[in-house]
Amino acid sequence: MIRARANFCYTGVVTNQHEHIDKPEPRWQALLAVLAVGAIYLALPRNLIVGPIWLLPTLIVVLLIPTVISHRTGKRSLNRALGTIINGITTLALIASVLLLVRALPSHKESPLELLRSGALLWLTNVIVFALWYWRLDGGGPTLRHERKEFGSTSFLFPQMQIPHDERAQFECTRWRPRFVDYLFIAFTQSSTFGPTDAPLLARWAKVLAMIQVFISLSIVILLISRAVGVL
């Protein structure tokens, strides 16, 4: 029933040319998010970092340059490949840091305050990294979403998509489609509640990524709780 309703909300409007979305999706939010991951990585304790501390931020900056250029020059396949590589590198770095946190916990080398800070930074990185994945993969990516100029999403059931067609003008979502901040909200709420909230997941790939994200977030929280209990 949900799927049928979603299809009604975002496919029935495609035939109406006046409701096509013509403005390109802004990329600066996603760009800042990727740079934020590099900045957070620099703030982590040295024992939670694999390799030189400058390696991940340098890779991000080096890969972002051709990513932006490929987007500007219309090389869609290259842009998508580079974006996927950046997401993959940051995801591997996140998982490695969480594993190092698990290994370092029994040694009690970090003070409770330092451990809390490390956990919070990794939790925030988890939110940003998976928000980038959702933004990158939904509907084939931001470039393809712009070319199709369709209402709503193909992988998530956002609240705007559940509003009847004749009532969308009242809620100012006639030409609505998700931006990066909407995917960031999904990632944030999933890491906070350990499950989907106002935007149910429709695509199987989104469900798999959500399970991985929730598992990482839950692992970090459990580690912090267990350390706090040990201190008490």
The domain ranges of the chain are: 26-231
> What is the mean pLDDT of the segment spanning 103-107?
74
Taking the mean position of all CA atoms in its chain, how far away is CA 163?
Answer: 25
Please name the residue that has the structure tokens 């009532």: 167
Q: pTM of the predicted model, to two decimals?
A: 0.82
Least confident of 10-19, 96-105, 134-143: 10-19
pLDDT for 187 beyond 90: yes
| Res 175: pLDDT | 73
pLDDT tens digit sequence for 10-37 = 344 333 434 444 455 778 899 999 999 9
Which is more confidently placed, 19 or 180? 180
Mapped onto helix, strand or coil, the DSSP state of residue 156 is strand
Among the ranges 150-164, 196-210, 215-229, which has the highest mean pLDDT value?
196-210
| Res 148: pLDDT | 74
C-alpha span between 90 and 85 (Å, rounded):
9
Nearest to 63, CA basis, from 42, 40, 94, 84: 84
pLDDT tens digit sequence for 201-213 = 889 999 999 999 9
> What is the mean pLDDT of the segment spanning 158-168?
77
pLDDT for 199 beyond 80: yes
Nearest to 228, CA basis, from 105, 101, 46, 98: 105
> What is the mean pLDDT of the segment spanning 101-125?
81
| Res 109: pLDDT | 67
215, two tokens: 């598992």
| Res 158: pLDDT | 84
